Chains A and B, each alone.
Chain A
Amino acid sequence: MVDIDQSVKVYYEQVELSEAQQQLLLAMRKDVVGSSGICKASLRKRASIFSVAAAASVMLVITLLVFRYSGELVISERVAQEIAMNHNKALAVEYQGDNYQVLSLDMDKLDFNLQAPQKIVDDVFTVTGARYCSIQGKIAAQVKLTDKKGRIYTLYQTRLSKEFDAIKNSSVQHADVRIRLWKESAILYGLAVENEQ
């Protein structure tokens, strides 16, 4: 007879996150908490106590500028990394449709209307379907597109929120995936495609 408890234990013990997923989660920690293990929000509160001294103020301004710049890089990199991961999963679409309007009607859990981004020329790409996903914990849509050569692209849309303020229109390379990030009418877009061999 099978020992159910032991089998269940062994089954779950062999399940592990991939190295890429672990790296992503550890990077999130580094970004939010910092290497000291104390939340950056707490550190900022403490820093304000000492900010009365003029010299410290100057230092603080410099620090904040550096922090802002690195924060900008970190959030873009994190979003790109997450998009690359979603792209590589190549999960099947949950909703079939050849245009954004139809998909938007089906995907009523989204807190924004799915729309055709102006940066993407309609006659270059064909929409094949979409599924729900998340970007930095925010609900998002992953739209599957193909170009005229049959290459598969995934387009991500999520509502712009404060967390994404620092993201600039940019192109990021993550492993074999090229990701373009941009903002348009209160939506953050990400377009991912594998590099051509």
Chain B
Amino acid sequence: MPCASVALRDLLNQGYRYALALCHDESRAQDLLQEAWLALLQANGPQEKGYLFRAIRSRYLNLIKREQLVVMVPLEEGLDAEDAGEKHEWDTLADMQELAQALDKLRPVEREALYLYAAEGYTAEEISRHMDQPRGTVLSLIQRARAKMKRWLKLQEVKHG
């Protein structure tokens, strides 16, 4: 397989993962990626992650407006803005199925922020620019997402003994 093709496939998979982080629905994520990819190609835009992510995001926001899926309410700033990057003592990985369910409990904005931070390795500053939200809000989103998931996973642990 040529290198260019491998790079493109990587890019498409990254786009798919990001779309999935936004909508948490495989079928919708595929549609979002396809629409964004087509728009990017037709606009002769750079085939780069940043542009693809932006195209996916704007289509997701349009989808929300069209279908009123969820309300992207602005979050109050606050919480401890500095500790999104803190190291935790947690050291094990969650069960994938439980993790999928825990991710489903998050609001799309929380999932998006956590995905960009944890999976894509973006800094809070970069996420803030990408999501067009203040840095403090981004950090709050990440913190809340972690806390919600942790709570939910703990609950499952108690349920299943």
Q: Residues on A close to B: CB < 8 A? A: 1-17, 21-22, 24-26, 28-29, 32-33, 38-39, 41-42, 82, 89, 91, 109, 133-134, 136-137
Contact between A12 and B20, CB atoms less than 8 A apart: yes
Taking residues whose C-beta sits less than 8 angstroms from the other chain, chain B's interface range is: 35 or more
- Interface segment among B74-82, B94-102, B132-140: the answer is B94-102
* New A-B pairs, 20, CB < 8 Å, besides A9-B119, A39-B44: A1-B92, A1-B150, A3-B90, A4-B94, A6-B93, A7-B94, A7-B99, A8-B103, A8-B118, A15-B16, A21-B30, A25-B34, A26-B8, A28-B37, A29-B8, A33-B44, A89-B27, A109-B67, A133-B31, A137-B35
| B residues in contact with A4, CB < 8 Å | 88, 90, 94, 114, 118, 145-146, 149-150
Q: How far is the CA of A29 from the CA of B42 in the complex (A)?
A: 9
**B146: nearest chain-A partner, CB-CB:** A4
Q: How far is the CA of A13 from the CA of B27 in the complex (A)?
A: 18
Contact between B91 and A17, CB atoms less than 8 A apart: no
| B residues in contact with A28, CB < 8 Å | 34, 37-38, 41
| B residues in contact with A91, CB < 8 Å | 27
> Are A11 and B13 also in contact (CB < 8 A) when A2-B94, A137-B34 are?
no
Q: How far is the CA of A39 from the CA of B96 in the complex (A)?
A: 41
Contact between A42 and B44, CB atoms less than 8 A apart: yes
Give the distance to chain A from B118, nearest Cβ to Cβ, in Å.
4
SS of B interface (majority):
helix
Give the distance to chain A from B23, nearest Cβ to Cβ, in Å.
13
Contact between A8 and B41, CB atoms less than 8 A apart: no
Q: How far is the CA of A13 from the CA of B41 in the complex (A)?
A: 25
Give the distance to chain B from A117, nearest Cβ to Cβ, in Å.
24
**A30: nearest chain-B partner, CB-CB:** B41
Per a CB cutoff under 8 Å, which of B17, B92, B114, B146 touches A15?
B17
Q: Jot down 19 A-B pairs with beta carbons below 8 A, ordered by A.
A: A1-B89, A2-B153, A3-B88, A3-B93, A4-B90, A4-B146, A4-B149, A5-B114, A12-B20, A13-B119, A15-B20, A16-B13, A16-B16, A17-B30, A21-B30, A24-B34, A32-B38, A137-B34, A137-B39
Q: Residues on B close to A: CB < 8 A? A: 5, 8-9, 12-13, 16-17, 20-21, 27, 30-31, 33-35, 37-39, 41-42, 44, 47, 66-67, 88-94, 96, 99-100, 103, 114-115, 117-119, 145-146, 149-150, 153
Contact between B149 and A25, CB atoms less than 8 A apart: no
Q: How far is the CA of A36 from the CA of B115 in the complex (A)?
A: 34
**B114: nearest chain-A partner, CB-CB:** A8
Q: How far is the CA of A107 from the CA of B117 in the complex (A)?
A: 37
Q: How far is the CA of A133 from the CA of B150 in the complex (A)?
A: 35
Contact between A8 and B99, CB atoms less than 8 A apart: yes
Q: How far is the CA of A56 from the CA of B61 in the complex (A)?
A: 46
Contact between B20 and A2, CB atoms less than 8 A apart: no
**A91: nearest chain-B partner, CB-CB:** B27
| A residues in contact with B66, CB < 8 Å | 109
**B36: nearest chain-A partner, CB-CB:** A137
> Are A33 and B16 also in contact (CB < 8 A) when A1-B90, A3-B92, A9-B119 are?
no
